Structure 1
Amino acid sequence: MIVVNGLRKRFGSHTALDGMTFSVEPGQVTGFVGPNGAGKSTTMRVILGLDAPDAGTALVGGRPYRTLRRPLCHLGSLLDAGALQPGRTARNHLLWLAHSQGLPARRVDEVLERAGLQGVARRAAGGFSLGMRQRLGIAAALLGDPPALMLDEPFNGMDPEGIVWMRQHLRGLAAEGRAVLVSSHLMSELQDTADHVVVAGRGQVIADTSIAALLQAAAAGRVTVRLGAPFVDVAADVLDSAGATAVRTDEGTLTVTGLPAEAVVAALTGGGVPFAEISTHRATLEEAYLELTRDAVEFRATTAPQVTR
């Protein structure tokens, strides 16, 4: 289990962390998301003891990471897939890490196979693609068979097959009872992978909840009604009279709030308004994320880019 409590960190005049607090529970994948400058990387560096906080604590299994003996057996991490000696083979890269933790060589071969790298184990890692380096980083994180893992942007550089593998792998690690923290900007992948999400902004936690609860809140009880364009105004009047708020979103479509789908059907049927389709709005994690972080983005373009033809 990873527990972050009240972390504060300044770099000169910049406040990177301003009371960051959350926990990563065993048996689930926790997504860690937020705009650039939200404090995600600094938080992960503090957890690993690479940066010292000005206040607060970050504990792995109840202890600071720097006090752990054989730390890879407590927390496996991947912050930078390029952090390797390029002339060293994939197997030798893992072998020296294993020796540093008192782990046998057979463990290296086990994680190489689990990461799908057994066929390239004796190739120099410097020639690997980013996706293959990500797999090597995952193998390194798993060397000590740790109960907790922390991965920063593990989907980067992955081809479609690799993304499917990563998604299934992360779910499998959580199913084994491990606590898994995954930072990513790929909301669609986290939506299909994570059970829980921590949304950060300006060094603080904006939301700490399950994916299901966040999507339900983002949907906000909206109902989409599709009907012929001539009936849109009539339908809006009928729904407004029934206590709903109906807004035209495009030609022949209304977005309705204030009534569940069944009540919308009843109101339109009772008013004699024909419709083609009624569906409950299904929010995406990206939609929920953008809404939550609307005021937490530090770097935003003020004008649209110019296109040269």
Structure 2
Amino acid sequence: MEASIEVDGLRKRFGAVAALDGMSFTVAPGRVTGFVGPSGAGKSTTLRVVLGLDVAQEGRALVGGRPYRSLGEPSRHVGALLDAGALQPGRTARNHLLWLAHAQGAGARRVDEVAELVGLGAAIRRRAGSLSHGSRQRLGLAAALLGDPPILVLDEPFTGLDPQEAAWLGGVLRGLAGEGRAVLVASRLMSRVQDTAGHLVVAGRGRVVADLGVDELVADASRGRFTVRTGAREAAMAVLAGAGATVAACGPEVLTVSGLAGRERVEQVLNGAAVPYTEIVAHRATLEEAYMELTR
């Protein structure tokens, strides 16, 4: 089965609300694709259509070249984690996985393999209802991997994880993509997406706003922007703004400057007004800054 997701022209309304308005993108194998956008952008509805949980009024969503509902053994084609809390709280984590494995035709050996892969450790013997949110996310990922699928769809997998857990999960997802899987991650946590995804689909008002590499988006947002370090912040802001720059204070002695023609022009303006500074460097935008600029 081809490891890809194809979303083509999805349109769906809930009454007067257009949840999807021509949503189109492709998730390619061998990389993690981040799916981001504000609340109401259509992310969750798109994932539900991809996984056959909802039906679009127009367009199509294919996994491995086929509609999800046509798959004979879907867990062997697509693994999904939409809600880490969707489990029976009185069942142990291992029994939860055993129950799912039995339904999918897998055995106890596969349960132990995925439990080790996601690092469940001693939590595998605890009741699911007593697990921390981070352990529930690991359990949900283990369940998604039971069928060893070539496609993974994850909704907000970083929510509730501490920095160490989030960094670990990012590494696991990149490793899975490195094996040739297509990995789609919907998330509001831009720093985690930046550390994990190689490609980005930005949604807004039910359609795709941008579809490009993470590095490309960050580079575009960084272009023409400079970081200035100065002990005379107020004077520097005034003189730079007077020269036509857009200036933002990022700290007691740090400014971000855009709108001037290069580093030399920033230097010229500051030197001409005798405003002292210690450093002027090209600004490296964060993914969050790039996202805010794109969706503003």
TM-score, normalised on structure 1? 0.85
Contact 1:236 1:246 in 2 (8 A): yes
Closer/same/farther in 2, CA of residues 43 and 231 from structure 1, 3 Å limit: closer
Residue of structure 2 equivalent to 1:300: none
Amino acid at match of 1:60: V
Closer/same/farther in 2, CA of residues 256 and 226 from structure 1, 3 Å limit: farther
Cα distance in 2, alignment partners of residues 73 and 127 from structure 1 = 29
2:169 matched to 1:166? yes
Cα distance in 2, alignment partners of residues 100 and 233 from structure 1 = 64
2:35 matched to 1:35? no
Q: 2:286 aligns with which of 284, 287, 293?
A: 284
Contact 1:223 1:257 in 2 (8 A): no
Contact 2:123 2:135 in 1 (8 A): no
Amino acid at match of 1:246: A
Residue of structure 1 equivalent to 2:81: 78
Kindly report the root-mean-square deviation, in angstroms, between the aligned alpha carbons of the 2 structures.
Answer: 2.5
**Structure 1 residue 51: deviation in Å?**
0.2
Cα distance in 2, alignment partners of residues 123 and 233 from structure 1 = 57
Contact 2:225 2:256 in 1 (8 A): no
2:57 matched to 1:54? yes
Residue of structure 1 equivalent to 2:179: 176
Residue of structure 2 equivalent to 1:246: 245
Residue of structure 2 equivalent to 1:111: 114
Question: Which piece of structure 1 moves more, 45-54 or 225-234?
Answer: 225-234
Residue of structure 2 equivalent to 1:306: none
Q: 2:14 aligns with which of 11, 16, 20?
A: 11
Cα distance in 2, alignment partners of residues 254 and 130 from structure 1 = 37
Closer/same/farther in 2, CA of residues 44 and 277 from structure 1, 3 Å limit: same
**Structure 1 residue 160: deviation in Å?**
2.8
Amino acid at match of 2:114: V
Instruction: Name the % identity.
Output: 60
What does 1:145-294 correspond to in 2, within 5 Å?
Answer: 145-227=148-230, 229=232, 232=236, 236=240, 245-250=244-249, 253=255, 255-261=257-263, 263-264=264-265, 267=268, 275-294=277-296
Contact 1:232 1:254 in 2 (8 A): no
Residue of structure 2 equivalent to 1:92: 95
- SS at 1:216's partner residue? helix
Contact 2:239 2:270 in 1 (8 A): no
Closer/same/farther in 2, CA of residues 276 and 72 from structure 1, 3 Å limit: same
Cα distance in 2, alignment partners of residues 293 and 152 from structure 1 = 21
Residue of structure 2 equivalent to 1:303: none
Cα distance in 2, alignment partners of residues 71 and 186 from structure 1 = 29
Question: Which piece of structure 1 moves more, 58-67 or 167-176?
Answer: 167-176
Cα distance in 1, alignment partners of residues 40 and 173 from structure 2 = 25
Contact 1:7 1:57 in 2 (8 A): yes
What's the CA shift string for 1:213-236, capped at 9, x where partnerless?
Answer: 111121231123334639748975
Question: Which piece of structure 1 moves more, 54-63 or 81-90?
Answer: 81-90
**Structure 1 residue 29: deviation in Å?**
0.8
Number of aligned residue pairs: 288
2:142 matched to 1:142? no
Amino acid at match of 1:169: V
**Structure 1 residue 142: deviation in Å?**
0.7
Contact 1:235 1:268 in 2 (8 A): yes
Residue of structure 1 equivalent to 2:28: 25
What's the CA shift string for 1:174-202, capped at 9, x where partnerless?
Answer: 11111111111111111111111111111
TM-score, normalised on structure 2? 0.88
What's the CA shift string for 1:107-129, capped at 9, x where partnerless?
Answer: 11100111111423232211112
Amino acid at match of 2:287: L
Amino acid at match of 1:58: A
**Structure 1 residue 246: deviation in Å?**
3.3
Amino acid at match of 1:109: D
5+ residue gaps in structure 2?
Answer: none
Closer/same/farther in 2, CA of residues 171 and 268 from structure 1, 3 Å limit: same
